[in-house]
Amino acid sequence: MKIVFLEPLGLPMAMIETACSGLKQLGHEVVVFSDRDDNPKVLKQRAAGAQVIVESNMPLRKDFFDACPDLKMLSIAFTGLDHIDTEECVRRGIVVKNAAGYSTEAVAELALAMMIDVYRKVIENEKITRGCNVKGIMPGREIGGKTVGIIGMGNIGQRVAQLLSVFGCKVLAWNRTPKNIPGVSFVDKAALLRQSDIVTVHIALNRETKDFITADDLAIMKPSAILINTARGPVVNEQDLADALKKRVIAGAATDVYSKEPPLQNDHPLLDAPNLIMLPHIGFATEEAFVQRLGIVVDNVEKWLR
């Protein structure tokens, strides 16, 4: 079969070639493109004749599948699949596998980093230091002892809870299905929002979770509370969050995800929101996570072939 990597997945070509050596020994053709190009026309050209495609988070819709009639399997180097037209894949009998779990540690650690950054005003104080104004420091707050509400208790949410235990935090959680996790109290959504000093979001994006956090939800949070989003952009209504920050409904926020992938448009509602840290979707992006997901996507292809 022809197996095409539409991108190098952030890794050296030699590493991918080594990981695919077993596939080549079995007689499969493996094609790896050395750069990432989101242009739909380029993606179709690269995928021509492929039975198996490997890629991360570039959108693949019906027009792409129309151009790839031989496609039988997608090995997605990403956790979420909202960028893939999965209904079209089902209709065409295309198997889709994701790289579940590869970025659990990376995203959980970033969520903690964002909490600390917002609380300790790291970016603001860095700017003060560069401005040679050491008398203008901005005092921060401590995470220790705070109540943290975790929305979504999958692998990432559970790892965040474990990391927070080191700080002595009280951990509340909302999950579609409550779980028995030591040290975590499961409550309803409203109770979590009302009681938490920090709310961190870790749910997948689907029809039920789009706009899961809106103006009404932000309004019942503490005025001193902060919101962290490393899940998916549309889970939090971006305009409502911007308005809440401008009106000081909540004290601050940090987001790594957006309704559309960065680079953002100049009129994006969050760009002029105060007390907000904006990152360019780096939650998954660590060297360790990239290596782990390469192993997962190749293993997914091998299992499917078997």
Nearest Cα to 293, choosing from 43, 3, 54, 37?
54
Tokens describing residue 193: 């929002």
Please tell me which residue in 29, 124, 261, 302 is annotated as part of the active site: 261
Query: What pLDDT was estimated at residue 287?
Result: 96
Please tell me which residue in 120, 194, 281, 302 is annotated as part of the active site: 281
Render pLDDT for 233-246 as a digit per residue (tens, 0 to 9).
999 999 999 999 99
Please tell me which residue in 141, 232, 268, 293 is annotated as part of the active site: 232
What rounded mean pLDDT belongs to the chain? 96
Q: Are the C-beta atoms of 31 and 52 separated by less than 8 Å? A: no
Predicted TM-score (pTM) of the model is 0.91
Q: Which domains does the chain have, with CATH numbers?
A: 2-102+286-305 (3.40.50.720), 104-278 (3.40.50.720)
Tokens describing residue 135: 């008398």
Q: What is the mean pLDDT of residues 254-282?
A: 96
Query: What pLDDT was estimated at residue 221?
Result: 98
55: annotated active-site residue: no
Query: What pLDDT was estimated at residue 135?
Result: 76
261: annotated active-site residue: yes
Q: What is the mean pLDDT of residues 127-144?
A: 89
7: annotated active-site residue: no
pLDDT band at 44 (very low <50, low <70, confident <90, very high): very high
Q: Which backbone phi and psi does 65 adopt, to 5 degrees?
A: -70, -30
Query: What pLDDT was estimated at residue 132?
Result: 87
Query: What pLDDT was estimated at residue 133?
Result: 72
Instruction: Find residue 60's DSSP bridge partners.
Output: 84
The Cα–Cα gap between 273 and 257 comes to 15
Q: Is pLDDT of 117 > 80?
A: yes
pLDDT band at 71 (very low <50, low <70, confident <90, very high): very high
The Cα–Cα gap between 266 and 26 comes to 50
